[in-house]
Chain A
Amino acid sequence: MKTLLVLGAGTAGTMIAKKMASKLDKNQWKVILVDKDTKHYYQPGFLFVPFGKYEEKHVIKNNRQYIPAGIEYVISNIELIEPDANQVRLTLDNRVIKYDYLIVATGCDIHPEETEGLKGEGWRKNIFDFYTYDGAAALRKFLDRWEGGRMVVNVVENPIKCPVAPLEFLFLADWVFTQRGIRNKVELVYATPLPGAFTKPKASAALGALLARKNIQIEADYNIGEVDPVNNVIKSYDEREVPYDLLVSIPTNKGSDLIKRSGMGDALNFIPTDKHTLQSTKWQNVWVTGDATNIPASKAGATIHFQMETVVENMLAHIHGKEMHSKFDGHATCYIETGFNKATLIDFSYDQEPLPGMYPMPLVGPFTLLGESTINHIGKLAFRYLYWDLMMRGIEVPLPSQFSMAGKKK
């Protein structure tokens, strides 16, 4: 018997374990999936929690229901990966699993302790995150009673998962505070290390215009050096001080500590990965997918969906001693909530920045790229059903993996 070992049962690990199990010969292969707990988080839903739009039941489910009987599902902390010895050490019973092929899908998490003062006395008092369920739920309690003031949303450093989430958070805040009748008492500020609202020029201009229209100030090229929780100000490395009453932070995102312990990552514990084949650049029988990689693509669930085909085809080719043909093109599709029951959409790849137009079909869409519409908002909300009922159940989502220029205007 041969073993395919999958580490991490989040978005990527759960999907790839099932896809590979359905392709590999059951008489020759055993598929093992390991995660530290059975809680599965629908992270895109965290955005809606602080505003009371989603509850715990919408965003946390027991992962067991998504794992078919043919896969050995082990609940344990993963202690160490020893890729040179083709084995992994678990905490539970000190078990050592030998593998023939390994897929690492251990994601990434926030690290507020990386920024001086961030996790100090203001943490969870008037400083919050919404990248964890606990953070989002605590922020909801705070916002339920908030009467207004200066809210600063700060991205500490890039890359972060779902790079548009901070913008969406601001757009939703603008909408919810308007509904609550306190928008005139709230100042909204976006402090970002980027030179504008987004990385790529066309999307940056379109999203920048939206920020201006909604009266959200932007503090660009802002690299936070420290938080002063006594005086409620953040300070950048170039000594710009931004005062806040409420700080919503997107702290440094880092790959799992396991990657560091195992000596497999870069400075932020992301694993060096071939951006086209998704194979580890160092170990031939190791693949990396999802937020754990260092590839220059968006860290997003939609991107993971587009990566699956490449991982499956290339691993199978490699297992059978054939040439690998499948190339991931960096395809990402992100719905961006803009408030007032509207959303916009961006669709892009390694080589092509987001452009205006229609998606996925030219002219008919139904979704509009870089333009606001209600149907985009419905698409965003539908993503939750798509996620739990199709992606996690291993049912094909009818969106092509390959990026396409059809419907886009240069």
Chain B
Amino acid sequence: MATKKVKGVAYEVNDEGFLVDPTTWTKEYAVEAAKEEGLEELTETHWKVIDFARQSAATAGGASPTLRTITDGAAITTKDLFALFPKGPAKKVAKIAGLKKPEGCV
């Protein structure tokens, strides 16, 4: 376990950099986590996806949404999702939204 400091607040994160307790998440945390993932700015569409991911996890026992759940649920194309969160969108969204590492791939 490690802690991440954002604007004076300490957040507990695991070895892979995922927030341990999703209830401690804040928008400031998201902005900082996004920077670490190479996203300098979060646009309105980014936030739409992040909000959807948090809602989806809340109704799915904390499980992070898969890529398909996001594209279906947040009404966004896969191509746009990759443009917003390059490389691994499901993982990046989970990290920024303060959720668990997606369990999809075993």
Interface centre among B67, B78, B87, by most chain A C-beta atoms within 10 angstroms, is B87
What's the Cα separation between A57 and B8 when bound, in Å?
67
Q: Could you say which of A119-127, A155-163, A306-314, A321-329 contacts chain B?
A: A155-163
* A163 and B106 contact, CB distance less than 8 A: yes
Q: How many residues of A contact B (CB 8 A)?
A: 20
Q: Does B62 contact A (CB under 8 A)?
A: no
User: Known interface pairs A237-B78, A237-B82. Does A296 touch B69 (Cβ–Cβ under 8 Å)?
Assistant: no
* B105 and A223 contact, CB distance less than 8 A: no
* A158 and B104 contact, CB distance less than 8 A: yes
* A199 and B78 contact, CB distance less than 8 A: no
User: Which residues of A44-94 are within 8 A (CB) of B?
Assistant: none
What's the Cα separation between A237 and B89 when bound, in Å?
11
* A195 and B88 contact, CB distance less than 8 A: yes
Residues of A within 8 A of B104 (CB): 158-159, 296
Task: Report A239 CB to chain B, min CB distance, Å.
Answer: 9
What sequence of 0s and 1s flags, for each residue 118-139 of chain A, a beta carbon within 8 Å of any chain B beta carbon?
0000000000000000000000
Task: Report B72 CB to chain A, min CB distance, Å.
Answer: 6
What sequence of 0s and 1s flags, for each residue 2-32 of chain B, a beta carbon within 8 Å of any chain A beta carbon?
0000000000000000000000000000000
Residues of B within 8 A of A223 (CB): 78, 82, 87
Residues of B within 8 A of A193 (CB): 88, 105
Residues of A within 8 A of B72 (CB): 267
| Interface SS of A by simple majority | loop
Residues of B within 8 A of A267 (CB): 66, 68-69, 72
User: Which residues of B25-76 are within 8 A (CB) of A?
Assistant: 66-69, 72
* B68 and A297 contact, CB distance less than 8 A: no
Which A-chain residue is minimally distant from B105 (CB atoms)? Answer: A158
B: interface residue count bin: 10 to 19
What's the Cα separation between A195 and B88 when bound, in Å?
9
What's the Cα separation between A237 and B79 when bound, in Å?
6
Task: Report B77 CB to chain A, min CB distance, Å.
Answer: 10
Task: Report B33 CB to chain A, min CB distance, Å.
Answer: 18
Interface centre among A237, A298, A332, by most chain B C-beta atoms within 10 angstroms, is A237
Residues of A within 8 A of B79 (CB): 225, 237
Contact of A199 among B69, B83, B106 (CB under 8 A): B106
Contact of B68 among A221, A225, A238, A268 (CB under 8 A): A268
Residues of B within 8 A of A225 (CB): 78-79, 82
What's the Cα separation between A268 and B69 when bound, in Å?
9
Residues of B within 8 A of A159 (CB): 104-106
Q: Does A194 contact B (CB under 8 A)?
A: yes
What's the Cα separation between A304 and B24 when bound, in Å?
38
Task: Report B4 CB to chain A, min CB distance, Å.
Answer: 21
What's the Cα separation between A207 and B18 when bound, in Å?
25
Task: Report A374 CB to chain B, min CB distance, Å.
Answer: 28
Which A-chain residue is minimally distant from B79 (CB atoms)? Answer: A237
Which B-chain residue is minimally distant from A268 (CB atoms)? Answer: B68
Contact of B87 among A163, A221, A268, A298 (CB under 8 A): A221
What's the Cα separation between A195 and B82 when bound, in Å?
15
Q: Does A100 contact B (CB under 8 A)?
A: no
User: Which residues of A345-378 are within 8 A (CB) of B?
Assistant: none
What's the Cα separation between A158 and B79 when bound, in Å?
17
What's the Cα separation between A221 and B88 when bound, in Å?
7
What's the Cα separation between A193 and B78 when bound, in Å?
14
Task: Report A266 CB to chain B, min CB distance, Å.
Answer: 7
What's the Cα separation between A223 and B105 when bound, in Å?
14
Residues of A within 8 A of B105 (CB): 158-159, 163, 193-194, 199
User: Known interface pairs A195-B88, A267-B72. Does A297 touch B82 (Cβ–Cβ under 8 Å)?
Assistant: no
Cβ contacts A to B, 11 pairs, < 8 Å? A159-B106, A163-B106, A195-B88, A199-B105, A223-B87, A225-B78, A266-B66, A266-B69, A267-B72, A296-B104, A297-B106
19 more A-B residue pairs beyond the given contacts A221-B88, A238-B86, A296-B103, with a C-beta to C-beta distance below 8 A = A157-B67, A159-B104, A159-B105, A159-B106, A163-B106, A194-B105, A221-B87, A223-B78, A225-B79, A238-B82, A238-B83, A266-B66, A267-B66, A267-B68, A267-B69, A268-B66, A296-B104, A298-B106, A332-B106
